[in-house]
Amino acid sequence: MLYENLGINEQGHLTIGGLDAVDLAKEFGAPLYVLDEDKVRANCRTYVQALADYMPAGSYPLFAGKALCFKGLYPVLEEEGMGADVVSPGEIYTALAGGFPPERLYFHGNNKTDEDIQYALDSGVGHFIVDNHQELDKLDQYAGERGIRQKVLLRVTPGIDPHTLQAINTGRIDCQFGVPIETGQAARFVKAAVEKKNLDLLGFHSHIGSQIFEAEPFCDAVDILLDFAEQIRKGLGFTVRVLNLGGGFGVRYQESDPQVDIPGNIQALAEHLKAGCAAKDYPVPQILLEPGRSIVANAGVTLYEVGGVKTIEGYRSYITVNGGMTDNPRYALYRSPYTVLPASRMNDPRDFLCTVAGRCCESGDLIQENIQMPLAQRGDLIAVLTTGAYNFTMSSNYNRLCRPALVMLHEGKARLAVRRQTFEDLVACDL
Ligand code: LLP
């Protein structure tokens, strides 16, 4: 099994956190997002502990809400000592509705509107990660109007390609996020920020990409950021107190994916950082990380009911399920690999080569191609693993399908955290 929280019971059913997947689908319906809260908590602890053990005091992880965002998640994150990265007023609203302390929010985004900036200030959001000069000017103005001295980090691009998919790689120079170091623009950005009366510049932010399996690309980013910090200290007399290195540690979608040693990588990164600072006689800054995927992906499983099997003679066979690109668009978008399991017949021989297709009116609506499954029957339950990140948050109502419910599993009990949408929800905004 891909993860230690999965098992098989005497009925030959998949178990998640000790609970029978077939029972969960009976009780809450399918498709169903299942989130093992205990696994989320364990993932949070790994980061909180490693940052406390190896990085300077005050270092801590921020959960990237773009990976998963609903009210009931935020009390869990708070209890585990996480901060949170938010990218829109909607994410801020959700975090606050979940009781999350606003001072532990870090507001991202490359196009924060005037309304967004004011909403965040009025909500008491602790930190802004400023993306560009226009935002800097507006934030300074609105903070001044409110008599606030707003803490900020500046988003800079170190120009690193961590060898991930182009589509999820944001550290390159040519991208719409942040201001590049190499062209000299970032230095001018820092100068402008230091001169703002109503802004308290703490340091820099960079995010180099996603699905990164080792510390090396982060160490490369640290080298570039420290050289830049040193240049700024000489030029402006400004010393960086906080470095936010973004998110990006990878997760296992398939058995062939490597297992990331998160504490080991954070330790290696800390040693690299401390050595780099010592060489420059630079005070070691606090470190923030923004993991999203590696906190929630492996805690999530999606359950689907099989509608039928269709064999196109001379071509291939399809198993169709009662969800698809509406609840998981990642195969359609990125050809993402997934592990698909026959949740209601785990012990049956997997001798049927097939493609799992969704129910949307689109030929690209596939969950996974050319996998081995038992020959399925209508009513069978299928599980797709590692769907806790970027599935719920990227879901849609295409074809007017209702979004699935989400249940959280904690200490052997399941509770509904997001109810399934109804037809009334579908027309709720229609006038
Ligand atoms: N911080 C920043 C500024 C980010 O842009 C991201 C992800 C993260 C943190 C979290 O990265 P993670 O730890 O989750 O890798 N929709 C794509 C992923 C897009 C990621 C964008 N930024 C997917 O489904 O794979």
Indicate which atom in ligand 1 lies nearest the CA of residue 250.
15
Pocket of ligand 1, beta carbon within 6 A: 64, 66-67, 85, 108, 168, 170, 207, 210, 246-248, 290-294, 330, 389-390
Q: Counting atoms of ligand 1 from 1, which one is nearest the CA of 165?
A: 25
Burial profile 401-415: b = 16 or more Cβ within 10 angstroms, e = fewer: bebbbbbbbeeeebe
pLDDT of residue 160: 85
Q: Which atom of ligand 1 is nearest to the CA of 249?
A: 13
The pLDDT value recorded for residue 162 is 74
Distance 372 CA to ligand 1 centre (A): 30
Mutate to test the pocket of ligand 1, among 91, 210, 294 (most ligand atoms within 8 A of CB): 210
* For ligand 1, atom 6: residue with the closest CA: 247
Residues of the chain with pLDDT under 70: 163-171
Distances from the Cα of 67 to the Cα of 225, 293, 314, 382, angstroms: 26, 6, 40, 23
- Interstrand relation of 60-64 and 32-36 (parallel, antiparallel or unpaired): unpaired
For 44, the token pair is 């949070």
Distance of alpha carbon 358 from alpha carbon 321, whole angstroms:
5
Q: What is the DSSP letter of 318?
A: E
For residue 167, what pLDDT is reported? 53
For residue 109, report the distance from its CA to the centre of ligand 1, in Å. 12
307, two tokens: 């509608």
| DSSP-derived secondary structure letter, 65 | T
- Locate the ligand 1 atom nearest the alpha carbon of residue 290 and give its number: 9
Handedness of CA 30, 32, 38, 39 (dihedral sign): positive
Checking phi first, is residue 254 left (phi over 0); if not, alpha (psi -120 to 50) or beta?
Answer: beta
User: Which H or E run contains 179?
Assistant: strand 179-180
Nearest CA to ligand 1 atom 15: 248
Q: What tokens were used for 255? A: 């058995």
Give dist(CA 26, CA 187) in Å, integer: 58
Interval 362-391: pLDDT, tens: 999 999 999 999 999 999 999 999 999 999
31 prior amide bond cis, ω within 30: yes
CB of 42 within 8 A of CB of 5? no
Report the residue among 66, 262, 266 best suited for mutation to probe ligand 1: largest number of ligand atoms under 8 A from its CB: 66
Interatomic CA distance for residues 60 and 69, integer angstroms: 20
CA angle 337, 16, 96 (to 5 degrees): 85
Cα–Cα distance, 36 to 205 (Å, whole number): 30
Q: Report pLDDT digits (tens) over 211-269.
A: 999 999 999 999 999 999 999 999 999 999 999 999 999 999 999 999 999 999 999 99
Cα dihedral value 120, 68, 163, 217, nearest 10: 60
**Tokens at 164, concatenated:** 């991930």
User: Which of 386, 391, 381, 399 is closest to 418 using CA atoms?
Assistant: 391
Please give the number of the atom of ligand 1 that sits closest to the Cα of 168. Answer: 19
What spacing in Å lies between the alpha carbon of 34 and ligand 1's midpoint?
A: 21
Q: What is the model's pLDDT at position 161?
A: 75
Q: Whose CA is nearest to atom 20 of ligand 1?
A: 168
Exactly one of 69, 175, 219, 361 is catalytic; name it. 361
Phi first, then psi, for residue 355 (nearest 5°) are -120, 135
In whole angstroms, give the CA distance from residue 293 to residue 64: 8
Please identify which residue in the block is written with the tokens 């030029």.
235
Mutational pocket test of ligand 1: of 290, 334, 338, the residue with most ligand atoms within 8 Å of the beta carbon: 290
Active site residue 361: yes
Predicted pLDDT of residue 173: 82
Distance CA 416, CA 73 (A): 12
pLDDT at 391: 98
From atom 8 of ligand 1, which residue's Cα is the shortest distance away?
Answer: 247
Distance, in Å, from the CA atom of 259 to the CA atom of 253, rounded to the nearest integer, reads 10
Determine the distance separating the centroid of ligand 1 and the alpha carbon of 98, expressed in angstroms: 22
Secondary structure letter of residue 212 according to DSSP = B
Query: 167 C-alpha vs ligand 1 centroid, how far in Å?
Result: 11
Sign of CA dihedral 344, 345, 350, 354: negative
Distance 61 CA to ligand 1 centre (A): 14
- Distance from Cα 345 to the centre of ligand 1, integer Å: 34
Phi, psi of 208 (to 5 degrees): -100, -15
User: Residue 41 to residues 47, 81, 226, 253: CA-CA distances in angstroms?
Assistant: 10, 10, 32, 20
The CA distance from 32 to 346, in Å, is 18
